[in-house]
Structure 1
Amino acid sequence: MSTSARNGKNGELAGMQTPPVVSPQAWEAAREKLLVKEKAQLRAHDALAAERRRMPWMAVEKEYKFEAPDGTVSLLDLFEGRRQLIVYRAFFEPGVYGWPEQACRGCSMVADQVSHLAHVNARDTTLVFASRAPQADIARLKARMGWEMPWVTITDSFDKDFGVDEWHGHNVFIHDGDRIFRTYLINSRGDEAIGTVWSYLDMTPLGRQEVWENSPAGYPQTPTYKWWNWHDSYTADAEPDKKWVEVSDAGEAAFRDQ
C-alpha cells in the first residue's frame, strides 16, 4: 500500500500522507530504531533534572499573604508542614476570558491534568494553585469542575515578583525553618505537560528522592518503587509493605536496565 492517504472508515484519512503499512517484523525494527533515540531523550531528561537540583537558591525576603478557605495565610503556611512547595499561577479573575463562569481555558486544562496529590505529598511536597479571584468564586469553580487541589487568592505582588503576572507558570520553593527559597520556575511550553507525579517532583530541588537519581550529597533518597502506595494508604509512619517490597524488587531491577 502506498504512503499516500488510505481511506479508512468514513474516509477520515482522505488527503493525509500517512506512513506505509509494513509487516510485524519491519514494524518492530522501526520501533527499536526509534527506541534508541527515546532512551537518549530519557537520559537527557534525567541529566537535566539532576542539574536542576543543583540550581542556586534565591532567598524570599518579602512576606506574602494569600486568602485561603479558612482565612489569611502566609507563603510558609502554603507548605502545609512539608519541605517543598509548588505554586501554579492560574488565571481566574476579572478580565480573563471565561470570567466569571470559567477560568482560562489553558489553565483549566492544566487543572484537569493534576494527578492525585497524595503521591506528591508523600514526597514532602505540596502543590497549590493561586489566582486573583475571590475565594467564593474559586470554591464555586472547583465544585463545578471537580477539582480538589488547594487554591488560594493572591492579594499582593506575589505574581509580579515571581514572573507569573502575565502568563501562567509553576514556581518552586523550599524552606529551612522560617527561611524560604525560590528554586525554580517552569512556564510557557515547559508548563503545558505538567501534571503527573513525576513532572512535579522532577522540578523540585529534592527530585523524586529515589536512590538512582544523581543528587547532591545528603539529599533524602529511598529505594525505587518502595515508597509507592495506594493514594488512600499513605501515613506518616508507614513502613514499606513487605509483599510490595518483594514485588517491586523485580521492577527495580528492570528499571536499572532501562
Structure 2
Amino acid sequence: MMTKHMTVTREDWLAARLELLKAEKEHTRRSDELARRRQELPWLRVGKAYSFETETGSASLADLFQGRSQLMVYHFMFGPDYTAGCPSCSMIADSFNGIAVHLANHDVALTAVSRAPLAKLQAYKQRMGWSFPWVSAQGSDFNFDFNVSFTEEQQRKNDIDYNYFRGRETMKATVIPDAVVKIAAVCGTDVATYSRDRPGVSSFVLEDGVVYHTYSTYARGLDALWNSYQWLDRAPKGRNEDGIWWRRHDEYDAPASKSAAASCCS
C-alpha cells in the first residue's frame, strides 16, 4: 500500500530540510539564551538544615555535593506509601546511570531524592539495575519546602503550590484521568496518596560552605530530560501517542496499552 505521507525527489527533500534547519538553528540559539538566563538567576541561601538517609548513613544537603561545587537533585515520585516508584520518573531515571559519571567529572553531583524509606528505594534501585545516588528525605521538610510533596490537608484545601501556581490542583475526584488511576495502582496506592508527591529538578551550589538554591523546574519543564522523548521527536512518527504508553523497563513483556488519557507529569 502506498504511503499517505508526502514524498518528493531528493532535491525537493533537501530544500525542505534546509528550510527546517533554519528553524532548528534558531531553536538552538533560543535554548542557549534560556540556559544563560537560568545561570543568571539570583541565588537563594538555604537556611534550613535538612537531613537525608543515604547508604552510608545520615547526610546533610551539603554532604550530597560529594566534594563538588554543584548539585542537581531529581525529585523522584516515590512516596512513603508507594510499593514501587512512579513509572514516568523511572523512565527519566533510566538515563541517570550513564550521565552521572560525566557530571561528577564536571563538578556536578547528581542524586535522586524521595520520601520513601531508604530500604524501599534501595530495593527498587536494585530491581531497576541503577547505580546513581538515591537518598531518602523521609522525616525531612525538604520535599515540602521545594514544592514536590504535599500534605492531606493541603489537598483538602486545594492549597497546592506546584510548578509556580498555587491552588490549581487538577486531580479532583470528578476529573481524575483514568491513566492517573492506573499509574497510582501500579505504584501500589490510590490517586490521592500518589499525587501527594510530584516530579521536579532542583539545582544547588556550594560556595564558601554555604548552600544556595539556584533553580527548580517541574512538570513540562522536565520534558527535555526524558531522553526517550528527545529521540522520538526526531523519529518519523514523532511521539505518536494518545496517552501513557511507557512502563518500567522490566515490564514491557506485559501487553502494552496506548489508550491511557493523561500523564502524571502533565
| Among candidates 129, 132, 137, match of residue 112 of structure 2 | 129
TM-score (norm 1): 0.66
Which aligned pairs between 1:22-101 and structure 2 lie closer than 5 A? 22-95=8-81, 99-100=82-83
Q: Measure how far apart 1:19 and its partner are.
A: 2.8
* Match status 1:168 vs 2:150: no
| Among candidates 90, 95, 110, match of residue 113 of structure 1 | 95
Q: Measure how far apart 1:116 and its partner are.
A: 2.8
Q: Distance in 1 between matches of 2:220 and 2:145?
A: 21
SS at match of 1:56: coil
AA at the equivalent of 1:180: V
Q: Measure how far apart 1:177 and its partner are.
A: 2.6
- Matched-pair identity in %: 38
Q: Distance in 2 between matches of 1:160 and 1:184?
A: 16
Q: Distance in 1 between matches of 2:125 and 2:214?
A: 28
Q: Measure how far apart 1:192 and its partner are.
A: 2.8
* Match status 1:103 vs 2:89: no
Q: Distance in 1 between matches of 2:57 and 2:71?
A: 19
Q: Distance in 1 between matches of 2:120 and 2:144?
A: 22
1:236 corresponds in structure 2 to none
SS at match of 1:192: helix
SS at match of 2:203: strand
TM-score (norm 2): 0.64
Q: Distance in 2 between matches of 1:39 and 1:93?
A: 41
SS at match of 1:193: helix
| Among candidates 189, 192, 217, match of residue 220 of structure 2 | 189
AA at the equivalent of 2:31: H
Q: Is the 8 A contact 1:68 1:135 kept in 2?
A: yes
Q: Count how many residue pairs are aligned between Structure 1 and Structure 2.
A: 179
User: How large is the RMSD of aligned CA atoms in angstroms?
Assistant: 1.8
Q: Is the 8 A contact 1:110 1:192 kept in 2?
A: no
Q: Distance in 2 between matches of 1:177 and 1:63?
A: 16
* Match status 1:178 vs 2:209: yes
Larger Rg: 1
Unaligned runs of 5+ residues in structure 1 are: 1-6, 200-258
Unaligned runs of 5+ residues in structure 2 are: 150-196, 231-266
Q: Distance in 1 between matches of 2:79 and 2:43?
A: 31
Q: Is the 8 A contact 2:80 2:117 kept in 1?
A: no
Q: Is the 8 A contact 1:93 1:131 kept in 2?
A: yes
Q: Distance in 1 between matches of 2:217 and 2:30?
A: 17
